[in-house]
């Protein structure tokens, strides 16, 4: 079966196009059914932890501790390129959760809220620091996983 959402598979089962026994034990992947969390100002965020961090950052911005707050800023980690066989490869990008500038120091900061560190996220964060050494990267863990650093 091709990859599709559980909701779509259930609809097909209701129409008799999929055996209902195939639905047993199926669950949505971690991100495909996640509804966006809406912050008090209407901004859509990916998780409750991200929404809490956003409200905190809004408070800091109103107190003039930070400025230029952006949600889900995108950074290019590797530009688009053509390999030796003529195949075009898309640019590799990283989407942070928040970015802002500290008012007192002028330091640009990208903030990432994570439940736990995955291998793919660790690689992207290292590529980010290599490409943008002037931007400080803060990773905040939402659960006590024992992880204190992403390196």
Instruction: State the Cα–Cα distance between residues 9 and 20, nearest whole angstrom.
Output: 9
The pLDDT tens digits of the residues spanning 18-65 come to 555 555 555 444 444 456 777 777 788 888 888 888 889 999 999 999
Q: Is 136 exposed, middle or buried (0-12, 13-18, 19+ CB in 10 A)?
A: middle
CATH tag, 35-141: 3.40.1350.10
Instruction: State the Cα–Cα distance between residues 74 and 77, nearest whole angstrom.
Output: 10
- pLDDT at position 33 is 47
Q: Which pTM was predicted?
A: 0.68
Domain boundaries, the chain: 1-29, 35-141
The pLDDT tens digits of the residues spanning 67-118 come to 999 999 999 999 999 999 999 999 999 999 999 999 999 999 999 988 878 8
| Residue 14 pLDDT exceeds 80 | no
Instruction: State the Cα–Cα distance between residues 104 and 100, nearest whole angstrom.
Output: 12
């Amino acid at each position: 079966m091709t990859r599709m959402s559980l909701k779509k598979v259930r609809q097909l089962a209701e129409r008799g196009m999929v055996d209902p026994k195939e639905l047993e034990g199926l669950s949505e992947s971690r991100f495909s059914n996640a509804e966006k969390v809406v912050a008090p100002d209407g901004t859509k965020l990916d998780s409750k932890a991200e929404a809490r961090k956003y409200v905190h950052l809004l408070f800091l911005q109103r107190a003039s501790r930070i400025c230029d707050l952006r949600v889900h800023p995108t950074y290019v980690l590797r530009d688009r390129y053509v390999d030796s066989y003529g195949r075009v490869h898309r640019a590799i990008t990283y989407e942070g959760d928040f970015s802002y500038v500290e008012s007192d120091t002028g330091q640009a900061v990208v903030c990432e809220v994570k439940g736990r560190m995955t291998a793919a996220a660790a690689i992207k964060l290292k590529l980010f620091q290599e490409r943008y050494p002037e931007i400080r990267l803060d990773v905040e863990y939402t659960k006590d996983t024992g992880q204190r650093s992403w390196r």
